[in-house]
A and B are shown apart, each in its own frame.
Chain A
Amino acid sequence: MRIPCPHCGERDVSEFRYGGDATKKRPAHGTGDLKAWHDFYFLFDNPKGPHLEYWQHVLGCRQWFRLERNTATNEIGEAS
């Protein structure tokens, strides 16, 4: 699998680190609603199909970015 880093161009997956679902919204700072925090931290949509996720080019420019990837095929889409 090769991933297009927005900074460095297309590189092998071994240079990158996965960072989880990028569509999750962190509850507002100071929110005391434990249910909101639980759902944010512990629940996953985990779709079989298109997924927007965070990656870090950890052995390159170290930039974090969002990547579209299909979890059923590993087909790579846009990075932003």
Chain B
Amino acid sequence: MPSRRYSAFALARHAVSPDLPWPRAWRSPEPKKSYDVVIIGGGGHGLATAYYLAKNHGIKNVAVVERSYIGSGNVGRNTTLIRSNYVIDGNTQFFEHSLKLWEGLSHDLNFNCMVSQRGQIVLAVSPGQLDTFARRGNIMRLNGIDAEILDRGEVIKLLPYLDYSKDARFPIWGGILQQRAGTVRHDAVAWGYARAADMHGIDIIENCEVTGFVIEDGKATGIETSRGRINAGRLGIAVAGHTSHVARLAGLRVPVESHILQAFVTEPVKPMVHHVISWGAELFYLSQSDKGGMVFGGHIDGFNTYTQRGQFPKIQSVAECAVSLLPFMSRLRLLRHWGGIMDMAPDGSPFICRTPIGNLYLNGGWCYQGFKATPASGWTFAHTIANDSEHELNRCYALDRFEKGGELDDYGIGNWTYKQ
């Protein structure tokens, strides 16, 4: 069998022998009776966890079970942004670790994830807000993360197409730039992790829905699935969006409510927006894809739902944000919009942790930040499963942090899942 590695040489070999088929990126195995570790959920986080279990901990007798197909869930439903501009200790270091993993990911996975560090600018709409951004920038720089404060003139130079008129409802005072932030092609992340995990011998089992847990003496020993029972030494849940639903099968009640977050893309136009832009007046973020479409999003719709269909009022309010910040957006047509189901936690921060049930581990509660966290989430979740203990980077993401006063409310919103 020829090497499955992608390289310039492989490309040349296939170019001169067009009959030579490219090998499947990952196998489609029947589930075995038993594995050392079973990960529930074949999204970005589950696949990354399986990959780092093999790569960092040498645990290769692993299965990832996925209810649908790889790439069907939130890993393909986000706005593809990566950044590490968090304020609260615990979040700051975790997301910076994730950004560092993103920076080497394409080489690590032997798969081009099209990591584009085009820079993110968050715009301040008042002098007070610019002060809070300066504080955020100082915290980032104290943690070795790049951050630059921009005044209004510098923002005008970088983003000349924003509304700087006297009539602008929210005048732009400046911004904070993280040059290393950017975008990643999200499908490639799912495919790259799936292929790299498969090359370590990990079984990726698609169209396999978990219907129950086998729990003996307070320890999880396996799962019941639509394709039969699978025994497992250790079990990880990574099904954000459906965390409550799956955790309930194991008898757990979790601090999560499921909400819909919509995203939008316009028809493609010539290159114009070179950065990721976020707005200080409302939760609004926009970048231009390599195909030319403006990809943007805003808040969750605001009520709990498992339907992946968004409501019209939110489309309108996000479009209003777009037009008031970037007037040219009024002349573009919306090409597509879609919704993904988020785990909203009461403090807006995730869980990567042990659970009250032995050998059962939880990864969820990702709110708005699941995609950018993917590599560090898998990296730390693999550590937690392999060692039955949290890594320094995810010790703050415990399930019982609300009992112990350990909320990580980065935006200071308070205990409201639907306002995070």
Contacts and interface: CB of A to CB of B under 8 A. Distances in A.
B307 A38 contact: no
Given A1-B311, A14-B313, A51-B304, A43 B253 contact: yes
B258 A46 contact: yes
A18 B302 contact: yes
Interface of B: 242, 244-245, 253-258, 302-307, 309, 311-313, 346, 402-403, 415, 417-418
Nearest to B254: A43
A50 to B, nearest CB: 12
A42 B255 contact: yes
Nearest to A74: B307
Contacts of B307: 71-74
Contacts of B255: 42-44
A48 B311 contact: no
A45 interface: yes
A23 to B, nearest CB: 13
Q: Majority SS of interface residues in chain B? A: loop
> Which of A17, A44, A51 has the largest number of chain B CB atoms within 10 A?
A44
A1 B402 CA distance: 33
A44 B415 CA distance: 12
A72 B242 CA distance: 11
Contacts of B244: 44-48
Interface string A11-26: 0111001101000000
A51 B303 CA distance: 12
Given A41-B415, A42-B415, A48-B258, 10 more contacts: A18-B303, A41-B346, A42-B255, A42-B402, A44-B255, A44-B257, A45-B244, A53-B304, A71-B304, A74-B305
B39 to A, nearest CB: 21
Contacts of A71: 258, 304-307
Nearest to B415: A41
Contacts of B346: 41-42
B242 A48 contact: yes
A70 B214 CA distance: 29
A8 interface: no
A28 interface: no
B417 to A, nearest CB: 7
Nearest to B313: A14
Contacts of A13: 303, 311, 313
B403 A34 contact: yes
Contacts of B306: 48, 71-72
A17 B302 contact: yes
A67 B112 CA distance: 48
28 contacts: A12-B313, A18-B302, A18-B418, A20-B418, A34-B403, A35-B403, A39-B253, A41-B402, A41-B415, A42-B255, A42-B402, A42-B415, A43-B255, A44-B244, A44-B253, A44-B254, A44-B255, A44-B256, A45-B253, A46-B244, A46-B245, A46-B257, A46-B258, A53-B304, A71-B258, A71-B305, A72-B306, A73-B307
